[in-house]
Amino acid sequence: MPQKYKVFFNHNTLNFVKNYFIVPRGCIAISNPTIDQLRNLVSTYIESDTRDQIYILCSDVKATWKIFTALFKKKKAAGGLVVNENRQWLLIKRKGLWDLPKGHIEKGEKTRQAALREVEEECGISQLTIDYKINKTYHTYKIKQSLILKPTTWYLMKHKGNEMPTPQTKEGISKAIWIDAEELESYCKKAFPSIKSVIKRATGFDAAFLTEAN
């Protein structure tokens, strides 16, 4: 499989692909960008509320990705998509959007340990086990004048029991709830594409609301 990378800027997505990739209609294509062009892209989309799909066509995907990521400070994170014994899924609401529990990996902490800890802290539930790694996402944000790239490793987790989650309000979480599988589509309409991509990978959903995360 050809090497490719995807990074999320709020509701915008940058896709780093080989230069022979056929770009879908309606998307933006940029071929072999210079470092200045990459900087301009970051400046344009880091705080944008648009919903663009941008394809970076590269002769060398890995080299271009390395140049791009060097523009940011990196903060590694881990999180989980949790299912309980009733086949219900755990979602949180953070800053008005539906999300999944996640957080920064502490110094000396293993990625899997961080994922479990963050779910426990942000949702107030225990008896969690990791089933498998779902994927890794990359999203960006800005703190003062610093550009941050957050690689987040996601795991499918199982919760033994049916504890009622409690949102960690100090982290900006207003709700933590269990929802039935058939409700995922409705809730994910108000979620970032990065979160939709995790749910799609884990559940196999191919509903229209997830196509933007392909």
Domain spans of the chain, in order of start: 5-69, 73-213
**pLDDT score for 203:** 87
Going by the DSSP 8-state scheme, the letter that residue 112 receives in this structure is H
User: Rounded mean pLDDT of the chain?
Assistant: 93
Closest among 162, 153, 86, 154 to 123, alpha carbons compared: 162
User: Is the pLDDT score of 207 beyond 90?
Assistant: no
Mean pLDDT across 30-54: 96
Q: What confidence score (pLDDT) does residue 1 get?
A: 58
pLDDT value of residue 17? 97
Kindly indicate the confidence band of residue 211, based on its pLDDT and cuts at 50, 70 and 90: very low
* pLDDT at 51 (0 to 100): 94
The confidence score (pLDDT) of residue 210 equals 37
- Tell how many helices (H) and how many strands (E) occur in the chain: 5, 12
Using pLDDT thresholds of 50, 70 and 90, give the confidence band for residue 213.
Answer: very low
List C-alpha distances in Å: 112 to 28, 83, 191: 36, 17, 24
Are the C-beta atoms of 93 and 171 separated by less than 8 Å? no
Does the pLDDT value for residue 99 go beyond 90? yes
Q: What pTM value is reported for the model?
A: 0.91
Distance, CA of 53 to CA of 21 (rounded, Å): 14
Whether the pLDDT of residue 79 is over 50: the answer is yes
State residue 208's pLDDT score: 38
CATH classification for the domain delimited by 73-213, as one of 3.40.50.880, 3.90.79.10, 1.10.10.10, 3.30.2010.30: 3.90.79.10
Question: In this prediction, what percent of the chain has a pLDDT beyond 90?
Answer: 88
Q: pLDDT value at position 162?
A: 81
